[in-house]
């Protein structure tokens, strides 16, 4: 069974976000082995310098490394400069991974300051949800829903209309 690691910086604070994540995790259990990895967010000052921000991103990248360096993993960095896909295109990307020899898909959502360049370089694919900006907690739920939708599209269900 395909393993999907959703690697995120920060935790879901409000109960309604945690409930939504739990619901999609439950639904996805029929299609993949999902693990949501919540990494600690580096605390920064209200107006961090570029050096302070870079250090925080590097620290977060170090925590991500053990997941991104797994053999047989396809790494997807969620970043603004990534490619935007339709739900059908995302479905093809996800469901084609096992046929291309990948047993694990890592999807990385960074902090509000983004993702370190070192993580982007390790990425096999850079994906953007939209040109719009979303709160990280909402982005996580939207991404979980789209992963679920991807499997439903592949299955040919009526969920995706």
Interacting residues of 11 by C-beta distance below 8 A, sequence separation 6+: 38
pLDDT value for 86: 97
CATH number reported for the structural domain that contains residue 106 in this entry: 3.40.1280.10
Q: Which domain holds residue 65?
A: 3-155
Specify the pTM: 0.94
Is 94 inside any structural domain?
Answer: yes
| DSSP 3-state of 30 | coil
pLDDT value for 38: 97
Is 160 inside any structural domain?
Answer: no
Best CA proximity match to 58, nearest among 143, 118, 108, 6 = 118
Place of tokens 């250090």: 55
Residue ranges for the chain with pLDDT beneath 50? none
pLDDT value for 73: 96
Best CA proximity match to 136, nearest among 60, 33, 70, 65 = 60
d(CA 141, CA 160): 17
pLDDT value for 45: 85
| DSSP 3-state of 65 | helix
Task: Please give the tally of structural domains in the chain.
Answer: 1
Is 16 inside any structural domain?
Answer: yes
pLDDT value for 136: 87
pLDDT value for 54: 93
């Amino acid at each position: 069974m395909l393993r999907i690691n959703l690697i995120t910086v920060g935790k879901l604070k409000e109960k309604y976000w945690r409930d939504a994540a739990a619901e999609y995790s439950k639904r996805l259990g029929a299609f993949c082995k999902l693990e949501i990895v919540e990494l600690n967010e580096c605390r920064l000052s209200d107006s961090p310098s570029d050096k302070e921000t870079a250090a925080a991103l590097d620290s977060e990248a170090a925590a991500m490394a053990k997941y991104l360096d797994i053999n047989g993993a396809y790494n997807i960095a969620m970043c603004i400069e990534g490619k935007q896909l339709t739900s059908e295109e995302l479905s093809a990307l996800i469901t084609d991974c096992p046929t291309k020899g990948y047993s694990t898909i890592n999807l990385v959502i960074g902090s509000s300051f983004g993702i370190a360049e070192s993580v982007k370089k390790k990425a096999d694919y850079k994906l953007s949800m939209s040109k719009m900006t979303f709160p990280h907690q909402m982005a996580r739920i939207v991404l979980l829903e789209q992963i679920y939708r991807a499997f439903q599209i592949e299955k040919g269900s009526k969920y995706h209309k």
